[in-house]
């Protein structure tokens, strides 16, 4: 380096190094902007898992897979993800299967950054009866937006009026998975292969399920008479579509319990 006419003159080699460095920085920035578009399914699993603050063991527990399998997916050791594995992983990570597989290049709206989200996507997995039980669904049908403070694992659509006026036909219930609830809690209960939403009261030999609509009598289920009586989860909130003036469309309201 020397001074010429009061200005600093750099040797050519320094200029060349600076140019190479600048090109490398620009290249890195471009690669970073394309990063999520070229991520492998395993990288997307790891990215989303970490964004949710889940450990590999926690994700394995939610999906029913072994931690070793999750590690292998994230490392890219398993190149083909079967549909029966894709569904539970997508559901646990709260992302669409198409995004997880890379068929959708863009991150779902509102998904990143997770810490600043005002909404979250909850999988809608089917219907639950508020009257006569409906066959429990296993696959999700769509995604619904919910407040990001809501701790829910999935959503169900109410069919029937037995829980009116608390929950109406067409309401979307948000459910947090847990195997037991206190007496009187509104929960989703599976009896054999049918699910319904009711107040739960534990009995020595089974459960009694009650409705909010007085037109529906309590239903008692004995363990000796049914193959399966299981609490699927507790209702933690609901969303209702309020029909208004036809010119103004509809309004959606959500309540958190």
Write out the catalytic residue numbers. Answer: 162, 198
Residue 250 CB contacts under 8 Å (≥ 6 apart), including other chains = 241, 242, 243, 244
The DSSP code for 218 is -
The DSSP code for 92 is H
The strand pair at 219-222 and 154-159 is best described as unpaired
Are the C-beta atoms of 67 and 56 separated by less than 8 Å?
yes
Distance separating alpha carbons of residues 223 and 247, to the nearest angstrom? 52
| Neighbouring-strand partners of residue 177 | 233
The DSSP code for 233 is E
């Amino acid at each position: 380096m020397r001074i010429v006419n009061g200005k600093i003159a750099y040797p050519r080699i320094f200029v060349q190094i600076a140019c190479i460095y600048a090109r490398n920085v620009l290249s890195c920035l471009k690669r970073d902007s394309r990063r999520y578009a070229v991520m492998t399914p395993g990288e997307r699993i790891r990215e989303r898992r970490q964004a949710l603050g889940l450990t590999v063991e926690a994700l394995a527990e939610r999906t029913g897979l072994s931690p070793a399998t999750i590690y292998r997916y994230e490392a890219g050791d398993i190149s083909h993800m079967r549909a029966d594995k894709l569904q539970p992983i997508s559901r646990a990570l709260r992302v669409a299967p198409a995004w997880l597989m890379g068929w959708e290049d863009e991150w779902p709206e509102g998904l990143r950054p997770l810490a600043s989200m005002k909404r979250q996507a909850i999988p809608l997995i089917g219907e639950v009866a508020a009257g006569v039980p409906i066959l429990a669904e296993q696959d999700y049908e769509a995604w619904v937006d919910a407040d990001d403070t809501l701790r829910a694992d999935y959503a169900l659509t109410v069919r029937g009026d037995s829980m009116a006026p608390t929950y109406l036909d067409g309401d979307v219930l948000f459910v947090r998975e847990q195997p037991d609830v206190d007496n009187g809690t509104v929960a989703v209960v599976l009896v054999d292969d049918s699910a319904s939403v009711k107040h739960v009261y534990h009995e020595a030999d089974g459960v009694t399920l009650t409705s909010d609509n007085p037109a529906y009598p309590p239903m008692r289920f004995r363990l000796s008479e049914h193959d399966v009586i299981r609490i699927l989860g507790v209702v933690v909130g609901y969303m209702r579509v309020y029909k208004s003036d036809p010119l103004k469309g509809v309004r959606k309201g959500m309540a958190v319990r």
